């Protein structure tokens, strides 16, 4: 009888544990920091692409400028073979067939996009007020509302991550720096600030 009673208690305990995990998934191990990690990683991946695109445009603007001031000898146009040292010429002429004007336009575009992605990354870091790489419920609420997104306490983590990444993608594509800076201002009004830890991380990403 006693063993049967203990078995019933054990079964009830297992059932309660499963029920709590189902009702409160955010309390499961490893879930708390998923939103911060996935959101910042999403932005970081875009920053990496933007840095490459900006570097290419910057390199080609410089190459076209130098080529315009000191044109290569005409003999180089005959029987020309690609070498590692001439690779910028190959890339720049292929990517910007209309010359320096195209390169300048792309330089301005990539510079703006890089500014948006970097500023958004700073925004995501600032929203983690205590720099623990986790958005607490209060921090998440402030973050979402500053991005003009609704906050619902019981929304599952994937839905919250999707809302954040889709907002980034939308404002990034439209280069909506005004809305982003307004969101940053909202966080500052709530007492959020760029911390020394945030600056170290920004330097790492920009490096």
In the chain, domain spans? 34-69+85-206
pLDDT profile of the chain (207 residues), mean per 10: 48 42 44 85 97 95 83 38 58 92 96 97 97 95 96 93 97 96 97 97 93
What is residue 161's predicted lDDT score, i.e. its pLDDT? 96
What is residue 4's predicted lDDT score, i.e. its pLDDT? 53
Look at phi and psi of residue 131 and say left if phi exceeds 0, alpha if psi is from -120 to 50, else beta. left
- Tokens representing residue 166 in the block: 């889709």
3-state secondary structure the chain: CHHHHHHHHHHHHHHHHHHHHHHCHHHCCCCCCHHHHHHHHHHHHHHHHHHHHHHHHHHHHHHHHHHHHCCCCHHHHCCCCCCHHHHHHHHHHHHCCCCHHHHHHHHHHHHHHHHHHHHHHHHHHHCCCCCCCCCCHHHHHHHHHHCCCCCCCCCCHHHHHHHHHHHHHHHHHCCCHHHHHHHHHHHHHCCCCCCHHHHHHHHHHHC
Q: Which long-range contacts (CB under 8 A, 24 or more apart) does 24-27 make?
A: 25/156, 25/157, 26/157
> Is the torsion defined by CA of 65, 69, 74, 75 positive or negative?
negative
């Amino acid at each position: 009888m006693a063993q049967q009673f203990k078995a019933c208690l054990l079964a009830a305990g297992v059932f309660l544990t499963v029920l709590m995990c189902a009702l409160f998934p955010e309390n499961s191990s490893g879930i708390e920091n998923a939103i911060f990690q996935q959101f910042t990683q999403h932005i970081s991946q875009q920053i990496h692409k933007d840095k490459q695109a900006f570097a290419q445009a910057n390199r080609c603007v410089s190459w076209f400028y130098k080529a315009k001031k000191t044109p290569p000898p005409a003999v180089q146009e005959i029987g020309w073979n690609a070498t590692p040292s001439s690779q910028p010429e190959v890339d720049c002429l292929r990517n910007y067939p209309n010359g320096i004007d195209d390169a300048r336009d792309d330089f301005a575009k990539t510079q703006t996009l890089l500014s948006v992605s970097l500023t958004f990354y700073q925004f995501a870091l600032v929203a983690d007020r205590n720099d623990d790489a986790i958005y607490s419920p209060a921090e998440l609420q402030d973050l979402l509302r500053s991005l003009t997104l609704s906050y619902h306490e019981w929304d599952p983590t994937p839905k919250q991550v999707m809302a954040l990444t889709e907002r980034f993608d939308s404002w990034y594509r439209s280069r909506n720096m005004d809305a982003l800076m307004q969101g940053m201002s909202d966080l500052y009004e709530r007492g959020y600030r760029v911390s020394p830890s945030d600056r170290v991380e920004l330097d790492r990403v920009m490096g």
